[in-house]
Amino acid sequence: MNIGASMKNNEYESEKTSIRMRAEAAYDQKNKSLINDSGKDTDSLIYELQVHQIELEMQNEELKKTQVELDKTLDKYFELYDLAPAGYLTMNAKGLIVQANLTIAALLELSKKLLVRVLFSQFVLPDSQDQYYLLLNKVINTGKEQTGELHMKNNGPGFFANLFMVPVLDDDQAVSEIRVVVTDITNIKNAQYKQNKSEDHIRYLNHQLLKAQENERQAISSHLHENVAQDLAAIKMGFENLLNEKNESLPDAQHEAESLFALLNRCIGAVRDLSYELWPPLLDQLGLVQAIRKQCAIFSEKTGLPMSFSSYGMEYIKLDRNIRISLFRIVQEGLHNIRQHALAKNVEVELICSGLAILLNIFDNGIGFDTVDEQSREAAFGIGLQYMKERAASIGGDMRIISKPGAGCKITVEIPLKLNSERL
């Protein structure tokens, strides 16, 4: 017999002797007046029986107390084990589940009874099977705790779990059981995925922004080189010819000077147009409505397309400078995209103060595009569409697009009126 069993036996004998002594004392107290000194066997037998009866009653009371304590312990066990926020299970060295709590049963969407005597691997999705067996073999071979993440399956879409595996060693230091803590980390994984996706989107936007900046610089450089620089060079050569020609008649010189002045005017116009594209002075001088009206007029003049602009209620509102700039840039980019891609015959722009919001509508009757198909959307707008959306979002607004192939396009930008605007 081992030491633990011997100690338990000694405690039992001691408790038994104690109950016997207490029973005898209780009997003496109860029957003190009835006991005589005759020492007869009958009296002795009655005495023994009555003491034994009292002893049994005391043992029964002790058993009741023990049962109450046991029930309390079981309640605590239920609260600590079955109702724990994490899933608890015990499996043997082969990965067979021998015990599980309610939480892991809820995660796997099965009853506890259906989990017992089932291989844990049955609840691991194929993409995590190798990782699971790697963890299991490490626990068995090293006899040390291991942790890892697995993709688990249930009756739904499945979930991601963190497993903490603790080995239980026998007398030979071999793994007899493995206690496993299973924690649902699906929300964390989803948050990480969204964060990574957002970071990828930010990197994409930064790349597109740099690309747009380089394209804009290239366009400005080409415009200056192909128009302004060449015209200025021609003017320079013309004046040099005028200075070098000694016998030139006045009428011919006057005609040459008129041609040079025409080139100068064209250079001035080109520089003025470029300056207006970079920053329209009317936006500060006369406000948003007049700046957009001027932009629409320039668009119609350059493209030859019928162009209409209408404004309602804007005279009663004073907008924040950032809103004015963003709305103007959205119109500017929208018209640029129509010119480049839409093949439209007619274009309309509306700017409306509805009382609760500013509405900007841009219509064209061009070729349209599929708003769902990303390739069609990019072919129709390039990065211009994303630029317009980002502009609207930067001032708390929203941009909606209605279009389909062959049916033109309508872009609506809605900017809620907040503290950044004042009524006049």
pLDDT tens digits for 123-179? 999 999 999 999 999 999 999 999 999 999 998 889 999 999 999 999 888 999 999
* pLDDT of res. 83: 74
Specify whether domain 87-184 bears CATH 3.30.450.20. Answer: yes
The pLDDT mean for the chain works out to 80
The domain locations on the chain are: 3-68, 87-184, 189-278, 283-424
Q: Which residues fall within 8 angstroms of residue 361, CB to CB, at 6 or more apart?
A: 348, 349, 350, 352, 410, 411, 412
* pLDDT of res. 419: 46
Note whether 392 and 326 are within 8 A (CB).
yes
Q: Which residues fall within 8 angstroms of residue 256, CB to CB, at 6 or more apart?
A: 238, 241, 242
pLDDT tens digits for 179-217? 999 999 999 999 988 888 888 888 777 667 756 765 676
- 283-424 adopts what CATH topology? Heat Shock Protein 90 (3.30.565)
* pLDDT of res. 213: 67
* pLDDT of res. 20: 62
Q: Which residues fall within 8 angstroms of residue 379, CB to CB, at 6 or more apart?
A: 341, 369
Structure tokens at 273: 């147009």
* pLDDT of res. 267: 77
Instruction: Assign 3-class secondary structure to the chain.
Output: CCHHHHHHHHHHHHHHHHHHHHHHHHHHHHHCCCCCCCCCHHHHHHHHHHHHHHHHHHHHHHHHHHHHHHHHHHHHHHHHHHCCCCEEEEEECCCEEEEECHHHHHHHCCCHHHHCCCEHHHHECHHHHHHHHHHHHHHHHHCCCEEEEEEECCCCCCEEEEEEEEEEECCCCCEEEEEEEEEECHHHHHHHHHHHHHHHHHHHHHHHHHHHHHHHHHHHHHHHHHHHHHHHHHHHHHHHHHHHCCCCCHHHHHHHHHHHHHHHHHHHHHHHHHHHHHCCCHHHHCCHHHHHHHHHHHHHHHHCCCEEEEEECHHHEEECHHHHHHHHHHHHHHHHHHHHHHCCCCEEEEEEECCCEEEEEEEECCCCCCCCCHHHHHHHHCCHHHHHHHHHHHCCCEEEEEECCCCCEEEEEEEECCCCEEEC
pLDDT tens digits for 306-337? 999 999 999 888 888 888 888 998 999 999 98
Q: Which residues of the chain have pLDDT under 70?
A: 1-20, 22-41, 71-80, 206-207, 210-211, 213-215, 217-218, 221-226, 229, 240, 242-254, 275-278, 374-383, 418-424
Task: Sort 178 into a burial class: Cβ within 10 Å, 0-12 / 13-18 / 19+.
Answer: buried
